[in-house]
Structure 1
């Protein structure tokens, strides 16, 4: 059955790849991100390929904008079947370098943006007695490394929020499924956020050697969505085969 799927951070990378794949599978996708020109192009690409898509410019750090995205989807299509909290930043650096502004941005986008998405979608799904929330975490949410402290903290947090939400919805018998996707090195724009030159050089080399296409993550997301409604993929951890 075709689903109405809302995706944040949909203007590139995992969000864009997921939107195109899910639309190709017959779903209707609603795209949210800050870059209107990118959203317009991706939406048109999907329509040119025979899919159904629309968008609304959304900054996930602003609750009212995330709520407006949810209300737009509800007003336009009558329901929200899947909400994908995908927007994320990864400006990694060692703590001694004190890049506090970057820490604040990661917390605002990666953690608060995820919470805002949950707050906007969950009441709608409760009224429907169905739905699925998919949160994009990271293998950095399973293990830390030099320079990953704040990024890892936000992604550990996404996993913690997701697991608590899973238990709450299971206890409520709401029929709402909660899924976490934790990718390893993936070719996206995340490295563009790294402004610390030493860290960026190391990450560029690592990603050049190992990173896989964002299409692979889109396939995992589609797999989780396409499971029967009585079964939830609680978490999918995925890495390039050669990544340790």
Structure 2
């Protein structure tokens, strides 16, 4: 079960998986809808990967409040919606695993907007620790993949940086 923002990329990935002999379904992301779609299939929901994130980069003094709000909406609220959608299912099953992508969190002397993303990703890691309340059969792990090529630069507000 795959979910992301762009239909064309999801469709191509599913076609690739099927061509290799696998099975896959997808939904343009709406996390709750993706969980419902997964539950309509045989089997159970074992894993939810929370990997949404943006990091508009601008100087702090630019006061790009719209960028801050968008970052909070995607990086925190999107993450929480994933938990809200899957945790009740995991509890009913008495089993489930969340994987959350974290920031690379490399040190920086720059005081730019990317630090907001770091704060939010660190907050996700704190939720990981709090998830222990759900019991030993429901796990939440933070995964820091290091630097990888993504579309993150396309979100840059200040391209002169």
TM norm structure 2:
0.91
How many angstroms apart in 2 are the aligned matches of 1:79 and 1:144?
Answer: 42
User: Residue in 2 aligned with 1:150?
Assistant: 116
How many angstroms apart in 2 are the aligned matches of 1:144 and 1:90?
Answer: 15
Say whether residues 1:198 and 2:160 are aligned partners: yes
Unmatched tracts of structure 1, length 5 or more: 1-29, 59-64, 200-244
Any residues of structure 2 matched to 1:90-129 within 5 Å, and which? 90-129=55-94
Contact kept, 8 Å, 2:54 with 2:74, in 1: the verdict is yes
Q: CA deviation at 1:189?
A: 1.2
**Structure with higher RCO (Cα < 8 A, 6+ apart):** 2
TM norm structure 1:
0.61
The secondary structure found in structure 2 opposite 1:185 is coil
Question: What do you get for the CA RMSD once the two structures are aligned?
Answer: 1.6
Unmatched tracts of structure 2, length 5 or more: none
How has the CA–CA distance of structure 1 residues 52 and 131 changed in structure 2, closer, same or farther, with 3 Å as cutoff?
A: same
How many angstroms apart in 2 are the aligned matches of 1:115 and 1:74?
Answer: 19
How many angstroms apart in 2 are the aligned matches of 1:158 and 1:145?
Answer: 23
Contact kept, 8 Å, 1:144 with 1:152, in 2: the verdict is no
Q: CA deviation at 1:145?
A: 4.7
Say whether residues 1:183 and 2:154 are aligned partners: no
Number of aligned positions between the proteins:
159
How many angstroms apart in 2 are the aligned matches of 1:46 and 1:145?
Answer: 43
Q: CA deviation at 1:51?
A: 1.6
